[in-house]
């Protein structure tokens, strides 16, 4: 799909879609429970479908009625099953250790897009030391053997999803375990989300000086969960409020553990005019100026922060984001190249980028098959004079299929072409 976006004045209200991060965790915890669980407000996207299909392959039934899911427990000791993670890194990193905890024999994990190129060696090394055989360090990978309780050592600065996957798995592995972090934890809010969700299902997890301690059990227990609004997706509309017209995003919990709630504070630092009420955030245009951003805890925000910086006076430096090079695309390289296409002075660094704000011109770009690239540069297209095109815009289906519908609701001029 190609989308054409013409500059326009935007303004109005949108509702944040359900959090993809929270949805993954609720569905997996429900599948690990001893009885059926109802999950409310669960969005539809390619990534959510991947997780749902994986738990179904492990014996759960998942019935969807609108945004409500009815999830039954997964089974133990299933033999010879294929789990297709599509392009969802979250699904793969969570489900590989979970399948091992369930004692699945010869489960093969597959993926598409860039996922088969992304390394899993840090996770597989930890699993191999605790009774699990992983045939490869990349997908496709066959996993067999049952995860044993004990001490699992893993660095904290490679992917927080590895730690979350281990916490999910060890919570249903009988016996006491410890996840020992060998380096400081990055993207810590996402691990905090996992711990909170597991505790809601009765898991016993405590933060320690060097990681996490877990008292394992055979099953989790729960009845119902409601998925909160997504700060990561709301960030695109909050930025639109700052660079175009005033935008209100409803359905947001300011006390959420999602790290990307920091978007509000970052926009304030840029100089945006912001009002917060119970459950909503309103952002209005104001003169913006460049800032320095440490993206270590908020890597997913980098593309939209870069676009915001492109409209700000002065220089913005984004650092500590090296992990973005192994996302759906090399997000540092691809973001900088597209900023340049829009006439913005930007340069890569080893772990981030330097952006000098200016006047954006219209451009024709590709998506790099990256949903966050599509959404971020739709925002920049809305303020660049003329009409810009983004080829491969179907990448939004990975996380936010209804993005352009919401974009149009607040005055965005976007036309989609097959």
Q: Report, as residue numbers or ranges, the catalytic residues.
A: 300
CA distance 28 to 47: 13
Distance, CA of 377 to CA of 335 (rounded, Å): 9
Distance between CA 371 and CA 64 in Å, rounded? 24
Tell me how far apart the alpha carbons of residues 28 and 30 are, in angstroms, rounded to a whole number: 5
Q: Give the chain's count of helices (H) and strands (E).
A: 12, 24
CA pair distance 82, 108, nearest whole angstrom: 5
Distance of CA 322 to the CA centre of its chain: 16
Are residues 285 and 247 in contact, defined by beta-carbon separation less than 8 angstroms?
A: no
223 Rama sector, left if φ>0, alpha if ψ -120 to 50, beta otherwise? alpha
Helices 231-243 + 263-270 axis angle, to 10? 20
């Amino acid at each position: 799909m190609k989308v054409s976006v013409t500059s326009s004045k935007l303004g109005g209200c949108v509702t944040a879609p359900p959090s993809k991060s929270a949805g993954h965790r609720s569905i997996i915890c429900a599948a690990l429970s001893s009885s059926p669980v109802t999950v409310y407000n669960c969005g539809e996207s390619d990534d959510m479908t991947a997780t749902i299909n994986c738990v179904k392959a492990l014996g759960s039934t998942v019935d969807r009625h609108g945004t409500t899911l009815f999830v039954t427990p997964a089974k133990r000791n299933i033999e010879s099953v294929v789990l297709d993670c599509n392009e969802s890194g979250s699904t793969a990193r969570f489900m590989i250790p979970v399948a091992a905890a369930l004692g699945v024999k010869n489960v093969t994990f597959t993926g598409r897009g860039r996922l088969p190129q992304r390394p899993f060696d840090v996770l597989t090394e930890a699993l191999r030391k605790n009774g699990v055989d992983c045939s490869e360090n990349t997908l496709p990978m066959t996993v067999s053997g049952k995860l044993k309780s004990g001490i699992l050592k893993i660095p904290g600065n490679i992917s927080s999803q590895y730690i979350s996957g281990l916490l999910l798995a060890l919570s249903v592995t009988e016996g006491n375990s410890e996840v020992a972090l060998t380096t400081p934890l990055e993207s810590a809010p996402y691990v905090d989300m996992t711990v909170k969700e597991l505790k809601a299902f009765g898991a016993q997890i405590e933060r320690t000086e060097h990681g996490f301690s877990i008292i394992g059990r055979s099953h989790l227990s729960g009845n119902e969960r409601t998925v909160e609004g997504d700060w990561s997706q709301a960030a695109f509309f909050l930025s639109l409020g700052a660079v175009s017209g005033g935008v209100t995003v409803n359905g947001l919990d300011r006390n959420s553990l999602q790290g990307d709630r920091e978007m509000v504070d970052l926009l304030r630092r840029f100089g945006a005019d912001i009002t917060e009420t119970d459950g909503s955030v309103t952002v209005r245009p104001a003169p913006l100026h460049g800032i320095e951003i440490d993206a270590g805890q908020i890597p997913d925000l980098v593309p939209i922060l870069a676009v915001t910086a492109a409209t700000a006076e002065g220089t913005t430096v984004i650092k500590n984001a090296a992990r973005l090079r192994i996302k759906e695309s090399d997000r540092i390289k691809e973001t900088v190249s597209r900023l340049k296409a829009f006439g913005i002075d930007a340069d890569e660094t080893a772990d981030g980028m330097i952006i000098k704000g200016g006047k954006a011109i219209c451009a024709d770009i590709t998506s790099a098959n990256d949903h966050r690239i599509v959404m971020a540069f739709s925002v920049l297209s809305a303020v660049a004079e003329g009409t810009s095109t983004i080829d491969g815009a179907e990448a939004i289906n990975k996380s936010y299929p209804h993005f352009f519908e919401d974009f149009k609701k607040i005055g965005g001029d976007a036309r989609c072409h097959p």
